[in-house]
Amino acid sequence: MARVLGIGGVFFKSPSPKATCEWYKRVLGFEVTEWGGVSFPPLTLGETVWSPFKADTTHFAPSTADLMINFVVDDLDGVLAHAAAEGVEPLEVKDDPFGRFGWLLDPDGMKIELWQPKA
């Protein structure tokens, strides 16, 4: 049977795509291409997760967006230190059985989850 192999991309609307791309370049080090997106190589750490949440979840707060993006990172403290140097402080950082997590809000108000999986 034919089947889905994984997540092929994350696409979302932004009031200012160029400014949003610049923020991701500056704060998270994204290498944004000329076509306006980023192509990540296959993961060597962690996994890609698909998970719907209940409509009344508060897990995405303080964002009011219906979407939260999780990015796998190799050094959560390093990524958060770079973000702080760019004026972006984490909403929260916590240890979890799955690894370490930190959360930021992007310039469009979308909550970004940063995940450093356990080795």
In the chain, domain spans: 57-119
CB 115 within 8 A of CB 21: no
The neighbour count for residue 71, using CB atoms within 10 Å, is 16
Mean pLDDT by groups of 10 residues along the chain of 119 residues: 83 94 96 93 90 95 95 95 96 96 96 93
CATH of domain 57-119: 3.10.180.10
Summarize pLDDT for 8-17 with one digit per residue, the tens. Answer: 889 999 999 9
Q: What is the pLDDT of residue 1?
A: 85
For residue 104, the model assigns a pLDDT of: 97
Cα distance between residue 71 and residue 47, in whole Å: 10
Q: Cα–Cα distance between 73 and 19 in angstroms, integer?
A: 23
pLDDT at 4: 75
Q: Which residue has the tokens 């939260």?
A: 68
